[in-house]
Amino acid sequence: MQQTFSTEQGLAVPVHDLPLLDRVRALILGGDFPPGAPVSEVFLSQEFDVSRTPIREALKQLQHEGLVEIRPKVGTFVREPTRREIVELFQLKESFEGLAAGLLARRGPVREIAVLERNLEESDEAAAAGDAERYAALVHEFHQTIILGADNNKLAEHYGRLMNQLAYHRLVLRTAGHPGRIIASTSEHRTVLEMIKDKDHFGAEAAMRNHVYASSREVLTDSRTRND
């Protein structure tokens, strides 16, 4: 198998061009480039002290990820998902995570169950301590554990791409640890875990889909989300 490296979103990409790709991504997501802003190859090549060739390759990847739009013979521009795209992506996320939860439940895993149980304990602690950041990290870990535990590399791959696209929406990140969602979220996680422990793959899938749908509603009904 090709040597891959899992980014924080779990996307498997070739290891050899990760540094530059990540740096370009980070630069664009850093906030200095508002949506629609041009991202010229020469600027990036000067910024990172490389030639245009590797920059071009990185931009093509980012285009594939949906972060930028390359208009031939014109230039590359930062692209932010519209609200409609966010809705579409969440529908996919619901489907992906539901599938993963179902597959995991069918496997009847031991290791993952222990990990998830420990995760819920720590989530309760973080919630009690009001540590929103740690809580968000644990939520992320919970979902990630289930995705990887589904034992389906292609699923993890597509899911990684999906999350990359979603991550570009800054508002999604901002509401990730929304206080109002914490109690419900942990409760839903617990339900999902119970279903997995019971090897009820049908119930696990349904529970996970409900959970993801509820989370997405939280983001999409947020007044700060633009309406385009």
Partner DNA sequence: AGAGATTATGTTGCATGCATCAGCTCGTCA
Partner DNA sequence: TGACGAGCTGATGCATGCAACATAATCTCT
**Contact residues: DNA, CB under 7 A:** 16-17, 20, 38-43, 45, 49-54, 56-57, 70-76
Which residues partner with 69 through β-bridges? 77
56 and 46 Cβ atoms separated by less than 8 Å: no
Give residue 27's identity as a one-letter amino acid code.
L
Nearest 5°: the CA angle 112, 163, 103 is 35
Residue 9, φ and ψ in degrees, nearest 5 = -85, -5
Minimum distance, C-beta of residue 216 to a copy of itself, in the bound complex (Å):
13
Q: How far is CA 55 from the centre of its chain?
A: 24
Q: Which is nearer to DNA, 76 or 216 (CB)?
A: 76
- Per CB under 8 A, does 103 bind a copy of itself? yes
Window 111-130: contact mask with a copy of itself (x via CB under 8 A): --------------------
Q: Distances from the Cα of 110 to the Cαs of 79, 153, 166, 192, 198, in angstroms? A: 42, 19, 31, 15, 12
Map residues 34-73 to x or -, x wherever contact with a copy of itself holds by CB under 8 A: -------------------x--xx--xx-xx-x--xxxx-
Residues that bind a copy of itself (CB under 8 A): 2, 12, 14-16, 53, 56-57, 60-61, 63-64, 66, 69-72, 85, 88-89, 91-92, 95-96, 98-99, 103, 152-155, 158, 161-162, 165
